[in-house]
Amino acid sequence: MSGAGIAARARGWLGTPYVHQASRRGAGCDCLGLIRGIWREALGVEPAPLPPYTMDWSEPQGQERLWQAAREHLRPKPVERADLGDVLLFRMRAGSVAKHLGVQSRLGGLGGQGPRFIHAYAGRGVVECALSTPWQRRIVARFAFPQEVL
């Protein structure tokens, strides 16, 4: 499956309500649940069990748990090398841990339209948004799904 195929799978989750720790298309998910659900649709089995987590799950310790897990299970790539279907890791506030994920759904330059991404956002559910400059500044890492998916 291509990166465009991953982006298409992510679009299939649009409108899914935000539910913390969930990962079921149409029923509910959080940002990690969106990535987990796409993984299951593409590969069938998640790479590791996930322990329960709170919304501030690694902030008190300052540990980059999500970043570490992404490096273990996804393919790291340069932040500046954007492709459709990439998993984006965001640091939402300076000095905090990176703990928000999204999927690159459109590259910039297509008919004057800018880049876009799909993510699960508290209070809004799974949405597709402009990957605007403020969002781009928050990207700390970029990953691709494993080759067997692509």
Query: How many folded domains does the chain comprise?
Result: 1
The CATH number given to whatever domain includes residue 99 is 3.90.1720.10
Q: What is the pLDDT of residue 150?
A: 47
pLDDT along the chain (150 residues), means of 10: 91 97 97 96 87 67 86 96 97 89 89 90 95 96 81
Give the pTM.
0.92
Domain presence at residue 35: yes
Domain presence at residue 150: no
Domain presence at residue 69: yes
Kindly provide the b/e burial profile for residues 91-100, where b requires at least 16 CB atoms within 10 angstroms of the residue's own CB: beeeeebbbb
The range of the structural domain enclosing residue 128 comes to: 3-144
Q: What is the pLDDT of residue 93?
A: 87
Domain presence at residue 149: no
The per-residue DSSP string of 98-111 comes to: P-EEEEEEE-TTBT
Q: What is the pLDDT of residue 30?
A: 97
Our CA angle for 53, 65, 12, nearest 5°, is 70
Domain presence at residue 31: yes
